[in-house]
Amino acid sequence: PVIVDVDPATLCLDYAAAEAAVTARTKAVMPVHLAGLAVDRLATAEFARRHRLAVVEDAAHSLPTYSRGRLVGDLGDVGDVGDDLGDVGDVGDDLGDGGARRPHAVVFSFYATKTMTTGEGGMVVVADEAMAQRIRTMRLHGISRDVFDRYRSTAPSWFYEVVEAGYKYNLTDPAAAMGRVQLRRQPRMFATRQALARRYRAAFADLPVDLPDEPTVPDSTHAWHLFILRLRPEAPVSRDEFIAAMAQAGVGCSVHFIPLHRQPYWRDRYGLTPEQFPVAEREFGRVVSLPIFSSMTDEQADRVVAAVRGVLG
């Protein structure tokens, strides 16, 4: 993998940096919809089509998020994001593969802290049935049929074949049942997060921080999985001092995220240095995530606001 820098406004993938990193060996692009703010689907589609790339979207933070009028994960005609682009998903016409489309997948997380949860687990959305079937096979030991298929097939229910060296990534039935309930509750949970984000933005507008922006891409929304403040140089405390002071006030904060170039595996294996990622390095030193969750009460939000203003005001 080739790691590139982030956009200073959104903290999402910087496509200018990605352009400079593309080589003849590049096979796919993996944009991350950070904090619940979607990478522009039009920019993604144009980039993938121009370079004949597959797309794997990391949407772990982004349910429900709209980009240009479509939910992240709504692939339509394999990424058809606008009439002006034609069939944007068809990015491989002249690849010598019989005109086959490059794959497009969107991956969601249902971990406990996400905008909806199954406790653990996730979901992959694809528009290609062959890819979907391979995912189903690989998620459970490479077995050629799932349990449901055993009871609708003419083959004996006890019969199965291991056709690939697969994994144990299947979602449990209780977790899936929880997810169905969470999906029904999603509109209410989303509305709560939106209200909290508006409240924070109004409460902190006069403080020495840069607030997360609403989407600037037309017909787009923010899922508000995270609410990230960025402390300005004139703030009375550093980021780490801010987190410590908030803890003293009884409010837990966190940092999302430590950049990959600072993580030992990526740093040492790929020779990454801070100088290669000036935006990520700069922003890492001043980002802090405030509590935001769909069951948050007015009293809890009041405590967060009072604590932030007490430290920075």
Active site residues: 114
Of the candidates 17, 31, 103, the residue with the CA atom closest to the CA atom of residue 67: 31
Nearest 10 degrees: Cα torsion 151, 157, 163, 167: 70
* Residues 163, 103 contacting (CB under 8 angstroms): no
The contacts of residue 150 (CB under 8 Å, 6+ apart) are 157, 158, 159, 160
Structure tokens, 131: 């890819």
Of the candidates 197, 203, 257, 202, the residue with the CA atom closest to the CA atom of residue 227: 197
The phi-psi region of residue 209 (left if phi > 0; otherwise alpha if psi is between -120 and 50; otherwise beta) is: beta
Structure tokens, 64: 């429900």
Of the candidates 47, 38, 42, the residue with the CA atom closest to the CA atom of residue 16: 47
Detail the DSSP E strand segments found in 89-145. Answer: 104-109, 122-126
The contacts of residue 76 (CB under 8 Å, 6+ apart) are 70, 89, 127
Rounded-to-integer distance, Cα 115 and Cα 61, Å: 7
Rounded-to-integer distance, Cα 93 and Cα 129, Å: 19
